[in-house]
Amino acid sequence: MLSIPKGTKDVLPSQSYKWQFVEGCARDVARMFNIREVRTPVFEHTELFARGVGDTTDIVNKEMYTFQDKGNRSVTLKPEGTAGVARMFIENGLASSPLPMKSFYITPCFRYERPQAGRLREFHQFGVEIYGSPSPSADAEAIFAASAFLKKLGITDTRLEINSIGCKTCRAAYNAALRQYFEPHLAEMCPTCRERFDKNPLRMLDCKEEGCRRITAGAPAILDYLCPDCASHFESVKKLLSAQGIAYVVNPNIVRGLDYYTRTVFEFVSTSIGAQGTVCAGGRYDGLIAELGGPSTPAVGFAAGLERLILLMENTGVPFPAPPAPAIYIAGMDEGSRAKAFALCGELRAKGVAAECDLMERSVKAQLKYADKSGAGYVAVIGETELAEGAVNVKRMADGTSKKVSFASICDYINNVISGGNNNG
Ligand code: ATP
Ligand code: MG
């Protein structure tokens, strides 16, 4: 028996409507904000992520799916979406296209992690990237889009947490303060934190180890070290959020997992799905495009984990729309009737009506049972009498009422009742 790789999941036919709903909401929100879709390869040169995500991150250090291809190049399955979009932006000279470039992606991501609820090795992200604007309004726009997405899904129990992690200037003073604070505690901290102490002490604040968390809780807050420009940027972002009625809390411990973040960072956190509570995370990364060799370009964005969102919706009873179902099922009693059912389905489908008939050579009774299970809104049974008459009783499954309809007008009839909102599909 072949089984699915650890940390990956199938989406079954009975479940895919949930994915379509979530992705549909993402696309709707993108349209409202005039954010255009982009698609980048699932694999890239390893170096892109090493440079673009940062070599003090867990992603680059421990989680990447990296392999040599047959041409002996080192390639990596994308662990996140931003680096690929940044590469696309640079490679296609999009800095000279009208800015800001507002783009989104829906993509699988791959990280070698210990699988648990809400943590997979292949998962999916809806991400938004806004390139070209240094203004706090771009930070706010990213947060508005994320918030609109959650709202559209019907999710209400998340908390927006924001922070600013400053720029190169203020970070230097802050790193010195962090080193001074952590120095006496180093022996009690995990090996990764000890390594971060030298390379990038800010990342120590992101440690998930219980022991380290107790120590980081007392660390100096970056907000006390922001330079005047970063401080006023953060104030403006907060004002813009308040002006649109977006509630937030300032959490000085959010630093985000990726190295390229500057200034604003934010997370939408749910209290209903346990430890993996961050459903959406983002921030500003003004240094990234230049770091990858492009023209210095400010950037801000976010990514939302789709598995976690679906899990959250299931756990908290946020309703999904009804699963799709055929508008009509047409059963046939004998060979001639089946042929007619098949032909009618063809006509209905050509007019945009979802119609189904038997492919299993089943008895009428079994066909009707299948129709019921499939959730068909209407059912019609064709036999010799119906063939002779050229008409059939079309039964509305919701209440059992039926109406005789001629074969010639069945498309119009179904289209009418559907547009009148009377079917259940
Ligand atoms: P975490 O702290 O939970 O590991 P992260 O900081 O690594 O998250 P990001 O790189 O910011 O996560 O990714 C954005 C979003 O993608 C996360 O908020 C989460 O919803 C989702 N996500 C990240 N890693 C996974 C994973 N292994 N499985 C499922 N979803 C994930
Ligand atoms: Mg992670």
Note the pLDDT tens digit of each residue in 213-251: 999 989 999 999 999 999 999 999 999 999 999 999 999
Within 6 A (CB) of ligand 1 lie 80, 111, 113, 118-120, 123, 125, 257, 276, 278-281, 303, 305, 307-308
Average of per-residue pLDDT values in the chain: 94
Which atom belonging to ligand 1 lies closest to the Cα atom of 80?
10
Residue nearest to atom 29 of ligand 1 (CA): 119
Q: How far is CA 260 from CA 83, 109, 223, 236, 299, in A?
A: 10, 18, 18, 22, 10
Rounded CA separation 39/375 (Å): 35
Domain boundaries, the chain: 16-167+227-316, 328-418
Which atom belonging to ligand 1 lies closest to the Cα atom of 115?
27
The confidence band for 423, taking pLDDT boundaries of 50, 70 and 90, is very low
pLDDT at 57: 84
Rounded CA separation 360/72 (Å): 50
pLDDT at 421: 54
| CA of 59 relative to ligand 2 center, distance in Å | 7
Rg (CA), the chain: 27
Q: How far is CA 413 from CA 15, 205, 244, 325, 392, in A?
A: 30, 64, 46, 18, 12
| CA of 121 relative to ligand 1 center, distance in Å | 11
Whose CA is closest to 164, among 213, 202, 190?
202
Which atom belonging to ligand 1 lies closest to the Cα atom of 118?
29
276, 279, 306, 307, best to mutate for ligand 1 pocket (most atoms within 8 Å of CB): 276
CATH number 3.30.930.10 is the correct assignment for the domain at 16-167+227-316? yes
pTM of the predicted model as reported, rounded to 2 decimal places: 0.94
308, 311, 312, 313, best to mutate for ligand 1 pocket (most atoms within 8 Å of CB): 308
Please state which CATH class domain 328-418 belongs to: alpha beta
The tokens of 354 are what? Answer: 């979802």
Whose CA is closest to 107, among 88, 91, 92?
88
The confidence band for 257, taking pLDDT boundaries of 50, 70 and 90, is low
| CA of 71 relative to ligand 1 center, distance in Å | 31
Rounded CA separation 348/327 (Å): 10
